[in-house]
Every structure is written in structure tokens, then in C-alpha cells.
Structure 1
Amino acid sequence: MKATIDGTVIAEAPEAELISIEGNWYFPPSSLVREAFGDSPTPYTCPWKGDAQYHDVTTPSGTHHDAGWSYPVLKPSAITRVGKDFSGYVAFDKAQVTIG
């Protein structure tokens, strides 16, 4: 599967390597086009996953604020709930990023 912004690929991995949580696909860190990502200062804490890190994504069409997010340090109960450690995996804002 690919995550794209205006046709630019920002992440790509086989579906078997992605994790679906609450309607969002989480891409493994190894699938990201790393140079496109920068950390955003936007704060958010999920009650069951923990503290999120939002990411701004820069493509030829510009910088897309908070286009992705990840959980660098998950609550242990989140790993148990999902059945896999998804620390650092990145999900994307469907209003800005096309997944397919």
C-alpha cells in the first residue's frame, strides 16, 4: 500500500506489514520517505495508546501540517490490545493523505 500527497509517495509497504487500528492504517517506520517528515509541536495523548508525535510532511506541493502521527512510546496495554508493538508506526490524516 502507498500513502501519497498530491501523487507524491511518502510511505509504501506491503499491506501485510501495516497495522489497521480504529480505521487508520499504520505504516512501519522503514516504509517512510524519511526526508519528507519533520516533527510537529502539536500535542495529543490517546487514553489507551499514550503520547502521540505529530509529523509535518513536506512534498513538492508544500508542507502539510500534522499530516501524520505516531506513538514513539506506547503504553504496554496498547501493545497487548493490538497484539503487536506498533511503536513508531505512522498513520495519516485522511483529509491530506491518500492511502491505497
Structure 2
Amino acid sequence: MTTATWNGTVIAESDDIVLVEGNAYFPRASVREDVLRPSTTSTTCPWKGRASYFTIEVGGRTNPDAAWYYPQPKAAAAEITGRVAFWKGVEVR
């Protein structure tokens, strides 16, 4: 089982992980929706497409843009459709 933890709280947990470029992409259904806040941030990857971000909020603390996903990934990245990855201090084990 792979978990994503921030601020002492497990925010995602799954045994169905897709690894891309060293990042673990969790199924969206395995991520706690109550800790995700929409962000206006977006970035573009040449082969994956346009990424959107979430700010994580746990225990009154926020971690801006610490989760990302590709709403409509390019064909080369189809395996991460419906998945979320983490960074910025989120511990993935």
C-alpha cells in the first residue's frame, strides 16, 4: 500500500499507483477530497499536457499547489487519466 502524508495526516492511500518520472500518481478516488482546495495554477508539460493543481489543507495549515493532475492528458500519458500526484513536502511511501 502506498500512502501520501502531509502535516501528520494520510491524504491518499492506494495499492494502484502509476509511476511516471519518479512521481506516484494515485487514483483520484483514493485521495481525500476534504483536504483538496482548487487552485488557479496550471502548467504545461510537452508530452503529458496541461496540469491543474490543488492546494492541500490539513489541520488549519495549507500547502499551496502541492497536488497536481492532468484533466485531459495527451495520448502518451493516458495512464495518468483520473490520477493525482503530490510534491512540496507531501511524503509518499
Pair in the same fold by TM > 0.5: yes
Give identity over the alignment, percent: 41
User: Partners of 2:89 and 2:63 in 1: how far apart?
Assistant: 7
Counterparts of 1:58-73 in structure 2 under 5 Å?
58-73=57-72
The aligned counterpart of 1:86 is: 80
Which segments of structure 1 move beyond 2 Å, counting only runs of 4 or more?
Answer: none
Unaligned runs of 5+ in 2: none
> Residues 19-60 of structure 1: CA distance to partner in whole angstroms, max 9, x if unpaired?
000011000011000111112111201100111011101100
The residue that corresponds to 2:40 in the other structure is 41
Looking at structure 1, the residues matched to 47 and 4 of structure 2 have their Cα atoms a distance apart, in angstroms, of 25
Instruction: Name the counterpart of 1:97.
Output: 90
The answer to whether residue 9 in structure 2 is matched with residue 8 in structure 1 is yes
Provide the residue aligned with 2:55 in structure 1: 56
Letter in 2 for 1:88: G
Distance 1:25 1:63 in 2: 21
| TM-score, length basis structure 2 | 0.92
Q: How much is the aligned-residue C-alpha RMSD, in angstroms? A: 1.1
What TM-score, normalized by structure 1, do the two folds share?
Answer: 0.86
User: 2:42, 2:51 → 1: CA distance?
Assistant: 7
Identify the structure with the greater strand proportion. 2
Partner of 2:28: 29
Give 5+ residue unaligned stretches, structure 1: 80-84
